[in-house]
Amino acid sequence: MWMDIEGGMSGNINEAMAEAVEGAQVVCPFLTEKYSKSKNCKKELNYTDSLDKEIVPCMADKFKPSGWLGLITAGMLWMDFRNPANIDNSIESLIKELREVCEDNLPMKSVEDVPRVLRSAASEEAVVEKPSNAGTVRAFKHIRTGKYLAESGDSVTHWGSGTRNHLVIRDTAEDTSFWTQESKGKGTGIVFFRNYHTKCYLGYDPNGDYVYTKSEHYGAEEWRLMNDDSDDTGRRAVIIFADYGKKFLTVNDEEGLTGVEEQTEDCRWYLD
């Protein structure tokens, strides 16, 4: 752990930082205006990026990274440490993210294994159980309704792309509520969400305005996952955007899934 205050880091710091980065599974930079101006922080994160190490940014100030920092962190989901009042939730979210990024290499297997001093009141709630040996798997929980994105079990044959499975929102997380994430390529910002249970990819059809999953991915199955800047709870709040259809994934008044052109309150989801 390093903290550069007014350039006060001294000694053989380059060697020490290099050794720390080389031995790390993941690097968590705490982003502030001062961090972006620190020569030492710049060297450390650039070296992290050059080694293709995992980076989990933590936003600790209300500013938008630009320049070298904006280039490295572009498209990355950051953990929200902007509101000190919700620090426990922020720590909880970071622990969950590290557990998923590092998969089975961390000793803690569930939230219950986290030291109690770090756990917030929120962690005393029911914990969503992901499939065992699943690696990085997430459930999408709609913030307003508190319901989970899942496959319904029904399907339809589409003239151009074969079988498509219907998507719904459920009161609780079930088998088809868990999703793995695949990147189209570093720097593209495009991801694919694959249902862990059925192995089908999440897609959005802008012509029929419906959300589905199918066995292969093409353009309509490309998504962008972005931070929800309006949320300051410290939880992993995100916006899900269909890149091909240019719509935000949302829930309508009938609690069905749809896409909208303008971002609204109903476009907000938590990563569980």
User: Distance (Å, rounded) from C-alpha 59 to C-alpha 98?
Assistant: 15
103-136 pLDDT tens trace? 655 554 444 444 433 334 344 444 555 554 445 6
Determine the pLDDT at residue 124.
Answer: 45
> Which amino acid is residue 26, in one-letter code?
V
214-245 pLDDT tens trace? 999 988 999 999 999 999 999 999 999 999 99
User: Distance (Å, rounded) from C-alpha 167 to C-alpha 255?
Assistant: 11
User: Distance (Å, rounded) from C-alpha 203 to C-alpha 192?
Assistant: 9
pTM of the entire predicted model = 0.80
171-196 pLDDT tens trace? 999 999 999 988 887 778 899 999 99
Determine the pLDDT at residue 75.
Answer: 83
Q: Going by CATH, does the domain composed of 75-271 fall within 3.40.1010.10?
A: no
Direct distance between the N- and C-terminal alpha carbons of the chain, in angstroms, rounded to an integer: 27
User: Distance (Å, rounded) from C-alpha 119 to C-alpha 114?
Assistant: 7
Longest CA span, the chain: 67
Neighbour-count burial of 126, counting CB atoms closer than 10 A to its CB (0-12 exposed, 13-18 middle, 19+ buried): exposed
> Is residue 255 left, alpha or beta, with left meaning phi > 0 and alpha meaning psi from -120 to 50?
left
Nearest to 248 by CA among 151, 142, 165: 142
Q: With cut-offs at 50, 70 and 90, classify the pLDDT of residue 14.
A: confident
Given a contact cutoff of 8 angstroms between Cβ atoms, the answer to whether 268 and 237 are in contact is yes
φ and ψ at residue 3, rounded to 5 degrees: -140, 115
What does the mean pLDDT of the chain come to? 85
Q: With cut-offs at 50, 70 and 90, classify the pLDDT of residue 72.
A: very high
